[in-house]
Structure 1
Amino acid sequence: MRIDTPLTRLLGTDLPIVQAGMSWASSGSALPLAVSRAGGLGVIAAGPMRLPDLERAIDEVEAGTDRPYAVNLPLYRKGVDEVIDLLCERRVPILIASQGGPKRYLPRFKDLGTTCLHVVAGEEHAAKAVAAGVDGLVVVGAEAGGHPPAALVSTLVMVRSVVRSAPGVPIVASGGFADGAGLAAALSLGADGAQFGTRFLASVESNLHPAYKEAVLAAGVGDTRTVGHQLGMIRLLANEFADRMGELERTGAELDLRRAVFAASTLRMAAFEGDVVRGKVEAGQSAGLVKEILPAAEIVGELVAEYAATLGRLPRVDQGPS
């Protein structure tokens, strides 16, 4: 199976399908390895990983496939400079950086020949990343789980905006995509690929507590919330924590109180310990489109089949009589 786009040519993948780097879910080798083997781009989420665990995951992916893979690095994480040193030492083929500026890492990785994508949520940050010399962009819209843009501009508008402002730059659209129709939509917007996060949360290889996966399956499209305004906003499934934060924000509680409540709940609580009531169950609005847990390779196969079916359903332009 091949779908040829500027993104697949840049990355060396068969398919313009990127598995999002999701803390805990892909903080290991199983999910990235399965996606890369299936022809997409598997992404190791370095965010919560200790250096020995990250290096082990890289070893396992490289031992399991000769296909491209990436490491996602949030630049705000503790010890980021040591992580950059490790990734340079290991000469990872693709880096996807987020939550910071590209000038911090770009020169070192470009000297090594690493392909560098940068996550952005608007024209201004996209322009700065392109000017700095990144190879491509991951453009995130409001529907995304984790960290959507603060202005909550939809993926539909955000991607078109960046595509128009950065012609010729390979772009991955992210936020709200869960099936092959979403992939077709991303490409129709002018993007060169789509990133799938929430869909791969509900995969066999996803390194999440079963309770987290079941919460994703049970969610509807209207069951996510955005909380943490002024604190690093996140999109997550509605639960006791989200309700508490939402109430504090609606009533104008002091920032210090909101910060304390926000910090008391963590993604680890939900992802590792299975506390989906008080933990941060980060997921996108596309959770409402996800109905079963499947092996990652089957998910990739379904995305391609649905993409082909979607193209077959689209009406052609009738040129009329000549």
Structure 2
Amino acid sequence: MRIGTSVTRLLGIDLPVIQAGMSWASSCSALPLAVSAAGGLGVIAAGPMRLPDLERAIDEVEAGTDRPYAVNLPLYRKGADEVMDALCARRIPVLIASQGGPRRYLRRFQERGTVCLHVVASEEHAAKAVEAGVDGLVVVGAEAGGHPPAGLVSTLVMVRAVARQTPGTPIIASGGFADGAGLAAALALGAGAAQFGTRFIASAESNLHPAYKKAVLAAGVGDTRTVGHQIGLIRLLANEFAERMAELERTAAGLELRRAEFAGSSLRMAALDGDVARGKVEAGQSAGLIDAILPAAEIVRGLAEEYEATLSTLPPVERP
């Protein structure tokens, strides 16, 4: 099956299904490889990876498929310049950069044939990225796990606003998507693909502790929280850490106390150690739409089939 859009044509993939680059969950080869081989775009999350581990993951993906894949690089990470040098030298097919300006990397990657996508969470940053010359945008809305926009504007509104502002720019919508109906909605808004994060957390290949995956399956749509206001906003599942942070924010506790509490927990605690009570269990509101852990290839195929089924249910226009 193929679904042709501006994004699938730009990236050379069959389906407008992008697996989000998620620290620890896709800081490996297994999940990106499975998604790319199934016709979507698998994304290696370079954020927490040592350079030798990242290079090994790239080698494994390239050995397992000839389909395009991406590397997600948070530009603030320690050693980002060294990682960029290595990725540029390897001529990776797609770079998805976040949390920094695109002018820092754009020209040298594009000169080597790498498609450059930039993650944005506001109209202002989208306009600046397009002006800088990015090949496409990943537009994040409030429903997303991890790092939603500070203003908590919904994906429904943010994607539509950016699509209207930047006509002709390929857009990947991110935040709140878990099934083929969501994919159809993303394309209706003017995006050329949808990015799925939490849906791929609940995959057989995601590199997360089983307790983390079980917590995602158990969550309802109202079971996430946003904490870290003025520190670094994140969306995560409600747990002891999230409720403690929320209480400090409700009572206007001092910034230093909130920073200390925030720093006392980490994504790694949940992702690798399985401490889903005190760790940062980052996940989006779409967790409430997910009820099974499936192989990643099956998820990709299911999204495409659900998309097709959704289109068949839409009512036609009736004219007198």
What TM-score do the two structures reach when normalised by structure 2? Answer: 1.00
Q: Within 5 Å, give how 1:111-130 maps onto structure 2.
A: 111-130=111-130
Find the counterpart in structure 1 of residue 306 from structure 2. Answer: 306
Aligned to 1:6: 6
1:182-241 superposed Cα distances (whole Å, 9 cap, x missing partner): 000000001111000000000000000000000000000000000001111000000000
| Structure 1 residue 271 corresponds to structure 2 residue 297 | no
Structure 1 residue 25: deviation in Å? 0.3
What is aligned with 1:138? 138
Secondary structure of the structure 2 residue equivalent to 1:117: strand
> After the TM superposition, which of the residue ranges 100-109 and 171-180 deviates more from structure 2?
100-109
Q: How does 1:86-97 map to 2 (within 5 A)?
A: 86-97=86-97
Q: Displacement, 1:111?
A: 1.4
1:261 lines up with 2:293 in the alignment: no
Name the residue aligned to 1:185. Answer: 185
Aligned AA for 1:129?
A
Q: Once the two structures are superposed, what CA deviation does each residue of 1:18-55 show, in whole Å capped at 9, x if it has no partner?
A: 00000000000000000000000000000000000000
Distance 1:297 1:259 in 2: 40
Letter in 2 for 1:37: A
RMSD: 0.5
**DSSP-derived class of the 1:54 partner:** helix
Task: Tell me the distance in 1 between the aligned counterparts of 2:232 and 2:84.
Answer: 23
Report the residue type matching 2:125 in the other structure. H
**2:149 corresponding residue in structure 1:** 149
TM-score by length of 1: 0.99
Is 1:164 paired with 2:155?
no
Instruction: Determine the structure 2 residue equivalent to 1:66.
Output: 66
User: What is the rounded CA distance, in whole Å, between the counterparts of 1:76 and 1:204 in structure 2?
Assistant: 30
The CA deviation at 1:122 is: 1.2
Superimposed CA distance per residue, residues 66-116 of structure 1 (whole angstroms, 9 cap, x where no aligned partner) = 000000001111110111011011111100000111011111111111100
d(CA) in 2 for partners of 1:125, 1:236: 24
* Partners of 1:230 and 1:53 in 2: CA distance: 33
Paired-residue identity, %: 81
CA distance in 2: counterparts of 1:123 and 1:271, whole angstroms: 32
What is the rounded CA distance, in whole Å, between the counterparts of 1:262 and 1:105 in structure 2? 31
C-alpha separation between the residues in 1 aligned to 2:251 and 2:300?
44
Q: Distance in 2 between matches of 1:311 and 1:113?
A: 35
Q: Are 1:295 and 2:295 an aligned pair? A: yes
- Structure 2: 5+ residue stretches without partners: none
SS of residue in 1 equivalent to 2:3: coil
Q: Hey, which bits of structure 1, 4+ residues long, moved more than 4 A?
A: none
Q: Which residue of 1 aligns with 2:85?
A: 85
SS in 1 for 2:184: helix
Q: Distance in 2 between matches of 1:134 and 1:58?
A: 23
Partner of 1:241: 241
Q: Which residue number corresponds to residue 108 of structure 1?
A: 108
Structure 1 counterpart of 2:203, one-letter code: S
User: Counterpart of 2:306 in structure 1: which amino acid?
Assistant: E
The answer for the alignment partner of 1:38 in structure 2 is: 38
